[in-house]
Amino acid sequence: MKDTQPELWQQAAKFISIKEYIFWQLFKEYVVDYSIASATGIFNLKDLAWDKAALALTEITSSQLSQPVPTTHILKTFKSEYAEEMGIAADTPVVIGASDGVLANLGVGAVAPGIAALTVGTSGAVRSTIDKPQTDPQERLFCYALTEEHWVVGGAVNNGGITLRWVRDQLADAEIDTARLLQQDPYDMLTAIAETIPAGSQGLIFHPYLAGERSPIWDANARGSFFGLALHHNKAHLIRAVLEGVVYNLFLVFQALESITGEVKSIRAAGGFARSPLWRQMLADVFNREVSIPESFESSSLGAAILGLYAMGEISDLTESKFINGEIHQHQPIIDNVANYQKILPIYCRLLDSFKTEYKAIAQLQEELQ
C-alpha cells in the first residue's frame, strides 16, 4: 500500500483487520488478540508486543495498531444499540478469541504433544501445539498464539480440494453427467474411480501447485505438473495422482513440522476432504501414521466454545476430554501402500528441487503467451 497507494497510506490513522473493526464497532476499543497479531509478521512472539524493528521497517507506529491482548481477554460493555439489536444484555462478557487455525487445533483435541491437526478444504494446513513460541529457521512454517502456554506451529497450503475441483471441471464432463443422472455427488464418483488404481498410481506423480504455493516452498510462480506419464496410464490414474499429489505436498509440511515439534504419533484430520474414505486412508498411508476423524467437522467453532469456557473459568484445562470431539473414523497405515509411497516420495522431492529452478521462467512465459 505504501508503494502503490501512497496517498491513502499517508492518510491512514489505523491499520486493522476485519475482526478488530468489528470489535471496535461493538466495544469502541482497538484490541487484537495475540493469535491474530502473531499472523501479521510485525508481532514479537516472545515479548508479546509489536516488534520495534518490524515497525521501523514498515514505517508504522504502534499507535496506528490495536492493543495486543491475550486470546482469553474479556470485553464486557457492548455499545448499547448493538446489544439491544442482538437481544442481549449490554454487560454480556465477550471473549476476544483467536484465529480459525489455532481454534481448529483446539476443536479436534490437537493440543497435546505428539498429535497434529490436519485440515483440507479448498486449501489445507498441518499444525501442532507446543508450549512456547518457536519459528522455523527455513521459514517454511508459521507460529501463532493460542494462549501464552499454547502455541500452534504449522504450515498452510494453497492446493487442497481446489485441485480435485480442477479435475472435475476440466477432465470429468462425462462423470458429472453420470453423477447427475444417478443423483450422486460427482466428487464421490471421482474418488471411486481413483480407488480402482493401486497406491502410487503406477508411477505417475503429480505436483499440485495449480495456485502457486505457500508452505513449504513459498513460491507464487509454482506450477502443477504430471511426471511419469506412459501409455498404460488413463484418466483414473490422473485422478488418483492428483489426490496423492495433494497428500505428498502436505507430507512435506508435516516433515517440516516434526523438525520443530518432534515426532508426531497421530493425526486428527478435519475439513471437507475428511468425508472421503479414500483420502483418509491415503493420508494414513503416505504419512505412515494413525489418522482419526473427529465427530464434528466444525472444529474451529468448537475450539472457540472451548476457549470461551476456559477464559470464563468454567474449565481449568484446555484438554478436558468431555469437550473434545469423539471419533467417527480411524485409519491405520496399510503396509503395502506405505511401501509404495516411501519409494515415490524421494522422487517427488527430487523432482520438486529440479522444478523450482524453472517455476519463474514458466510463469513469465505463460504471461507472454496469454
Beta bridge partners of 139: none
pLDDT of residue 274: 84
Of 340, 57, 48, the C-alpha closest to 205 is: 340
pTM score: 0.92
Of 65, 126, 64, 121, the C-alpha closest to 101 is: 126
In three-state secondary structure terms, 354 is helix
Contact 251, 126 (CB under 8 A): no
In three-state secondary structure terms, 322 is helix
pLDDT of residue 325: 62
Can you tell me the distance from the alpha carbon of 50 to that of 65, in angstroms, rounded to the nearest whole number? 9
Contact 195, 210 (CB under 8 A): no
pLDDT of residue 295: 79
Query: Angle 234-119-115 (CA atoms, 0-180°, nearest 5)?
Result: 120
pLDDT of residue 323: 57
Look up the CATH number of domain 99-370.
3.30.420.40
pLDDT of residue 147: 95
Of 52, 44, 42, 17, the C-alpha closest to 31 is: 17
Backbone angles phi, psi at 43, to 5 degrees: -115, 130
Which grid cell sits at 245? 499429489
Boundaries of every domain in the chain: 6-95, 99-370
Quote the DSSP letter at residue 217. T
Can you tell me the distance from the alpha carbon of 245 to that of 206, in angstroms, rounded to the nearest whole number? 5
For the chain, residues with pLDDT lower than 50 are: none
Query: Which residue type occupies 339?
Result: A
pLDDT of residue 271: 84
Neighbours of 11 (CB within 10 A): 8
pLDDT of residue 369: 96
Tell me if 6-95 shares its fold with 99-370: yes
Which residue is listed with cell 523450482? Answer: 356
Contact 310, 285 (CB under 8 A): no
Look up the CATH number of domain 6-95.
3.30.420.40
